[in-house]
Structure 1
Amino acid sequence: MTDTASPADTPVPVIDRRRMRLVMAGLMLGLFMSALDQTIISAALRTIADDLNGLSQQAWANTSYMITSVVTTALYGKLSDIYGRRPLYVIAVALFVAGSVLCGLASSMVMLSVFRGVQGLGAGGLMSLAFAILADLLPPTERSRYQAWFGAVFGVAAVVGPVVGGFFAGLDAFAGADGWRWAFFINVPVGIAAVLLILSQVRVQANRSTDKPDIAGVITLVLFLVPVLFAVEEGPKWGWGSAGTLGLFAVGAVGLVLFLMAQRRAGGAALLPTPMFRNPVFSLYNGVNTIVGAAVFGSLAVLPLYLQIVKGLSPTEAGLMLLPQTLGIIVAGRMCSAYVTRTGKFKGSMLAGIVLMMAGTFWFGSFGADTELWQAGVAAGVMGSGIGMCWQVMLVAIQRGLEPRYMGAGIGSFAFFRSIGGTVGISVFFSLFFGTVGGRIADAYADAANDPGFKAALADPAVTSQPANQTLLAGRNGAVSLDDSSFLTHADARLAHPFLEGMADAMQTVFLVSGTLLAVGLVLALIPRDRRPETGTGTDTAPSATEPKEAAAAGRK
């Protein structure tokens, strides 16, 4: 089994450098808007949830976004093969901006979750269409150089997002609106600029498909995803063996079967055309992509809660603590891109990336309430380095072997499987956390019963009569409400410590599960053999300067 076996791409239209730079600016603005939104909201979500009285419901703000983005990611890729990239890109940006405005106007966590779903309808097309447009305009030998700039966009967004999100979350009000609402409103000017550039500069698309949209695939995909994710979200409340939970899982299973049947029946017109999966490397690495997406998105959704609630950092401080992760993504991603371009080999980088992510995640799994902050910074840097090494080269692996007519759907599959993994990961990990945290807090209070400081605070009526401390002490029986965690700001530190230790203990479970998932992904990634691609196969790597001259000459022929 090899990493390649791809046919040569068909000729692409000639585009001058000036216009290519403008196209890249438009695509990068769209990607920046999408990536920035995720990092901003991650930093501001605790403040948003406290303000809307729905911390325990915050998973839905992420899950609804991920559900709609997962479904539409595959759809955008396929529709753009049929109707063209430019109109679909404009629609994606317009939906994302409209959803952002609605999110900024939300007055409850339920409304925010619904409007995040509208955002997701647009987000599904921003990344997959950006890579597909690039594939239309550039030959394979030039794509990796431009794709590296896309990686830089995510790196910059990862740096700027947490800081900007923390800044907005820390503002009481700005220009007549709550500060956190500007975390959504900021997308409006960015989206407008992206649309204007793409409308004026992207004109042609080679390899248009004549297939009809796969409506049956969309419907059955929704029938699969929504019941399963709803069951995962509500399972801890209803009980995993309850009729409601099992019924939803059963409906999801039926939806999955129907989706697979619909894809098989649609053939090349499917959302995920079945011929693509005849390439074993494409199939295996999309499996790795899904597992890694679940582990990474799930664990990174919980990490800001650790920093802000357990360690007591402000949103801005928590964002700054994640800068080492961003630095790791940027540096490792650029180094791996250069290595893959020079050698054509990507498996070693991918495996090393997964190992680093495992190391960072298991390190997170050792954190308690008293863990020093420097450890969180270093572990985040290790995690970021693994992300940069793994995902940067995984797209290269997935692109190889795609026929030009499947380019949109194939590249869309990268975002699709990563998003579906992330959606499941966020839902499962938040359910795991909120399903276990009450019991862990009660256990921590039981363990603290003999602590002198805790006993002294508990015996002081002036302390126990405070409303914040009364709310806190309800956790001794696991009955504390986590919809609004702002009471911790005013709580007595001696009484709060067992509470925070219980929360950290529940988070440890999440990180350990994430690390175990990454171990499964590592085993799966070991299966394909890593060979240097043969020259002239249409891959996105050029002959290395260290190759024998005869091989380089053969590649030029």
Structure 2
Amino acid sequence: MIQRHGDEQSQVAEREPLLSETAQPSSDYHACRSIPEEATGDGVLRPVPEVDEERSLGREETESLKEGAHMNVVKIISVMLLGIFVAQTDGSILMATHAIIASEFNALKNSSWLIISFSLAGAATQTLYGKLSDIYGRKRMVIIAYTMFMVGCAIVGVGQTMSQVVLGRIVSGAGASGMSALVSVLITDLLPLREVAQWRAYVNLVATLGRSLGGPLGGCLADIIGWRWSFLGQVPPITLAIILCSAYLPNHTSTLDETDVANQLKKSKFSRIDFKGAFIFAALVLALLLPLELGGVNVPWSHPLIFVLLGASAILLVLFIAAEPILPLEIFHSKDAILSFLILGFQTAAQLGLMFGVPLYFQVTSTPRPSATVAGAHLMPAVMGNAVGGIISGSVIKRSGRYKSLVIWAMTCSSIGYLLLMLRWHGNTNFLESLYIFPGGFGMGVASSALFISLQVVIDLVHMAPAVSFMYLMQTVWGMIGLPAANAIMQTVLRRNLGIRLLKLGYDSAEVAEIISDAVSDVDFIDGTIEKVRNAVVQSYIDGLWWSHGFSFACSVTALVLAVFLKQRRLDGHKSKP
């Protein structure tokens, strides 16, 4: 997974230009790879500036070139926004409808796999997109990612079993990981560092709009014509996005591509891509996740299978480290880079753990029970907070160049939000108190933009694409950890407390086991049972969700402590290793 120092020069050779020389966004930012390079003392090739064009061109010509370059950047990024919008809508739709989908197959206790399978596929392919886009071009990999996402949505829409639906989520996840990472790589290719956060805020705004609409839209479609159309309906806009990307994204250009030598180099590069490592990594994550999903639910925590899976994960970790490298080792030389990965990871685990439980909380506790549309709409404060946080973060960073204080502020807000949920969400939650998820979303929006910049400050340009892919990978992995961990905590407490309550109501062990099985398999079970059992089930769900909010709070506080150790650095000048 990591790349040794000896591969650095070959790594540099793989950075081929995205845009032609006429599309360079600014004269002082050498994102385009067609500029000259020189060797530095540490053996790494670095870009060097060409002759100052403003001295050889008139002021009007220079301004005209800059304006044209800016419009070119706007056009390139804009055509990808449709794909970002649909991908984020998909995630919110799934968060709002996972209980409905799983209940149709009598598998509510396994509903988290609809999300985990998506994330697992993304984790297995995340780092590959950065490497492959360096070799074969951003445009080609963007189109491949969109196509896989579209095919996955179609499979989910027509799936007739839980296994088929999960398969569709796997295919979609393998495409969505590229859709998310490559747009950020494109932004770093095209823009000066101070402008990156603001443009990412614009992309985040579109993503947030998708997440905001996805919950109520998915719930509405589920109520009216069925949840399947929530996924089949994504196929036409993604098809349009593929057409737009084919027409407007720049082709991968290089004069070397015209030679036989370049073709041999391309084959050599392809042979070094860590496909084996990607599959080992997926197996590693699966071995870590299965104990969280099975323990306390399908098998006791003391069952030998739990220890076998944990042992297998340790072996797979060793094999993964020994596999053919894909990430440069230099990425991990900086303490700030490691801290950025960890802070974003803990915050992602906290936020996804929360988002998974919010629709379920309102479906269980509200009287009368809300429709899927209303339950999904309760996610909107969090996603709106994410949008507001991203815009504020981008604006502040562009104006002041400061990001550390933003990260600390974001983690503090999130921690307060999760604490309020623990203190106040005990059923019959009114409108104002339903807004307590806003601080968590706000903190996530601020942190994602600020931490992206903190990573870029300390990473060399030649390693930027794999570093960005790895940051998205960390979000995916920590999301996969956070979601099943929160679900496992909730399920364990739910089963234990419901069993205690039912025994106190006079039910025998067989009846208790049957009621628990029905309660965790279908959310509609609450409507068809007698009042005393319904009250026991509802209160047990509340207990379980309280502990899952506690998990989110612990993750957010950990991220806050780590944020204190980040170092504030200057954003001006060329990005290189500290």
Common fold: TM-score over 0.5: yes
Q: How far apart, in 2, do the equivalents of 1:478 and 1:319 lie?
A: 25
Deviation for aligned residue 1:26: 2.2
Q: How far apart, in 1, do the equivalents of 2:523 and 2:194 lie?
A: 52
Q: Does 1:155 align with 2:208?
A: yes
Deviation for aligned residue 1:228: 1.6
Question: In the TM superposition, what whole-angstrom CA distance separates every residue of 1:202-227 from its partner, at most 9, and x where no partner exists?
Answer: 22458999643123321331231122
2:548 pairs with one of 495, 503, 510: 510
Change (3 A) 1:340 1:195: same
Aligned partner of 1:181 in structure 2 is 228
The answer to whether the 8 Å contact 1:307/1:313 transfers is yes
Instruction: Give the number of equivalent residue pairs.
Output: 499
**Normalising by the residue count of structure 2, what TM-score does the alignment of the two structures yield?**
0.81
Q: How far apart, in 1, do the equivalents of 2:540 and 2:571 lie?
A: 55
Change (3 A) 1:161 1:442: same
What pairs up with 1:228-239 in 2 under 5 angstroms?
228-236=288-296, 237-239=298-300
Aligned partner of 1:433 in structure 2 is 490
The answer to which structure, 1 or 2, has the higher relative contact order (CA under 8 A, 6+ apart) is: 1
Aligned partner of 1:241 in structure 2 is 302
What pairs up with 1:287-366 in 2 under 5 angstroms?
287-311=342-366, 312-366=369-423
Deviation for aligned residue 1:116: 0.8
Q: How far apart, in 2, do the equivalents of 1:244 and 1:251 lie?
A: 10
What pairs up with 1:44-63 in 2 under 5 angstroms?
44-63=97-116
Deviation for aligned residue 1:281: 1.0
Q: What amino acid is the match of 2:341?
A: N
Aligned partner of 2:53 in structure 1 is none
Range 203-212 or range 485-494, more displaced = 203-212
Q: Does 1:261 align with 2:281?
A: no
Aligned partner of 1:216 in structure 2 is 276
Q: What amino acid is the match of 1:422?
A: G
Q: How far apart, in 2, do the equivalents of 1:68 and 1:93 lie?
A: 14
Q: What amino acid is the match of 1:380?
A: I
Change (3 A) 1:169 1:10: same
Question: In the TM superposition, what whole-angstrom CA distance separates every residue of 1:457-477 from its partner, at most 9, and x where no partner exists?
Answer: x9xxxxxxxxxxx9x984797
Aligned partner of 1:80 in structure 2 is 133
Deviation for aligned residue 1:89: 0.9
Deviation for aligned residue 1:11: 4.3
Question: In the TM superposition, what whole-angstrom CA distance separates every residue of 1:26-62 from its partner, at most 9, and x where no partner exists?
Answer: 2111111211100011112222122222111101111
Q: How far apart, in 1, do the equivalents of 2:519 and 2:190 lie?
A: 54
What pairs up with 1:22-61 in 2 under 5 angstroms?
22-61=75-114
Q: How far apart, in 2, do the equivalents of 1:221 and 1:203 lie?
A: 32
1:226 pairs with one of 282, 286, 290: 286
The answer to whether the 8 Å contact 2:129/2:141 transfers is yes
What pairs up with 1:350-499 in 2 under 5 angstroms?
350-367=407-424, 369-374=426-431, 376-445=433-502, 474=512, 478-499=516-537
Aligned partner of 1:275 in structure 2 is 330
Q: What amino acid is the match of 2:215?
A: P
The answer to whether the 8 Å contact 1:439/1:478 transfers is no
Q: How far apart, in 2, do the equivalents of 1:99 and 1:51 lie?
A: 20
Secondary structure, counterpart of 2:431 in structure 1:
helix
Secondary structure, counterpart of 1:366 in structure 2:
helix
Where structure 1 has 5 or more consecutive residues not aligned to the other structure, the ranges are 1-7, 174-178, 450-457, 459-469, 540-557
Deviation for aligned residue 1:99: 0.4
Change (3 A) 1:243 1:369: same
Secondary structure, counterpart of 1:309 in structure 2:
helix
Change (3 A) 1:477 1:166: closer
Q: How far apart, in 2, do the equivalents of 1:114 and 1:534 lie?
A: 43
The answer to whether the 8 Å contact 2:519/2:525 transfers is no
Q: Does 1:105 align with 2:166?
A: no
Secondary structure, counterpart of 2:227 in structure 1:
helix
Q: What amino acid is the match of 2:30?
A: T
1:89 pairs with one of 139, 142, 159: 142
Deviation for aligned residue 1:92: 0.7
Q: How far apart, in 2, do the equivalents of 1:281 and 1:201 lie?
A: 36
Q: How far apart, in 2, do the equivalents of 1:164 and 1:477 lie?
A: 32
Change (3 A) 1:80 1:147: same
Q: What amino acid is the match of 1:309?
A: V
Range 80-89 or range 199-208, more displaced = 199-208
Secondary structure, counterpart of 1:170 in structure 2:
helix
Q: What amino acid is the match of 2:123?
A: V
Range 53-62 or range 129-138, more displaced = 129-138
The answer to whether the 8 Å contact 1:19/1:201 transfers is no
Range 340-349 or range 96-105, more displaced = 340-349
Range 242-251 or range 96-105, more displaced = 242-251
Q: How far apart, in 2, do the equivalents of 1:527 and 1:414 lie?
A: 18
1:166 pairs with one of 211, 214, 219: 219
Q: What amino acid is the match of 1:225?
A: V
Q: Does 1:128 align with 2:181?
A: yes
**Normalising by the residue count of structure 1, what TM-score does the alignment of the two structures yield?**
0.83
Secondary structure, counterpart of 2:295 in structure 1:
helix
Secondary structure, counterpart of 1:528 in structure 2:
coil
Q: How far apart, in 2, do the equivalents of 1:111 and 1:476 lie?
A: 27
Secondary structure, counterpart of 2:458 in structure 1:
coil
Deviation for aligned residue 1:9: 5.3
Question: In the TM superposition, what whole-angstrom CA distance separates every residue of 1:353-374 from its partner, at most 9, and x where no partner exists?
Answer: 1111112122222355534233
Q: What root-mean-square deviation, in Å, do the aligned CA atoms of Structure 1 and Structure 2 show?
A: 2.6
Deviation for aligned residue 1:119: 0.9
The answer to whether the 8 Å contact 2:94/2:115 transfers is no
Range 244-253 or range 201-210, more displaced = 201-210
Change (3 A) 1:488 1:534: closer
Q: How far apart, in 2, do the equivalents of 1:375 and 1:504 lie?
A: 19
2:572 pairs with one of 518, 532, 535: 535
Range 307-316 or range 138-147, more displaced = 138-147
Range 328-337 or range 19-28, more displaced = 19-28
Q: What amino acid is the match of 2:333?
A: R
Range 47-56 or range 418-427, more displaced = 47-56
Change (3 A) 1:227 1:393: same
Secondary structure, counterpart of 2:566 in structure 1:
coil
- Identity over the aligned pairs, expressed in percent? 22
1:284 pairs with one of 311, 332, 339: 339
1:190 pairs with one of 237, 257, 264: 237
Q: How far apart, in 1, do the equivalents of 2:356 and 2:112 lie?
A: 9
Question: In the TM superposition, what whole-angstrom CA distance separates every residue of 1:507-531 from its partner, at most 9, and x where no partner exists?
Answer: 1111112211221121112112324
Where structure 2 has 5 or more consecutive residues not aligned to the other structure, the ranges are 1-27, 35-64, 257-264
Range 378-387 or range 59-68, more displaced = 378-387
Q: How far apart, in 2, do the equivalents of 1:479 and 1:123 lie?
A: 34
Deviation for aligned residue 1:294: 1.5
Q: Does 1:144 align with 2:197?
A: yes
Q: How far apart, in 2, do the equivalents of 1:422 and 1:494 lie?
A: 36
Change (3 A) 1:59 1:534: closer
Aligned partner of 1:10 in structure 2 is 30
Q: How far apart, in 1, do the equivalents of 2:240 and 2:546 lie?
A: 42
Question: In the TM superposition, what whole-angstrom CA distance separates every residue of 1:159-208 from its partner, at most 9, and x where no partner exists?
Answer: 2111101111111x3xxxxx210111122122112211221222245899
The answer to whether the 8 Å contact 1:327/1:384 transfers is yes
Change (3 A) 1:184 1:102: same
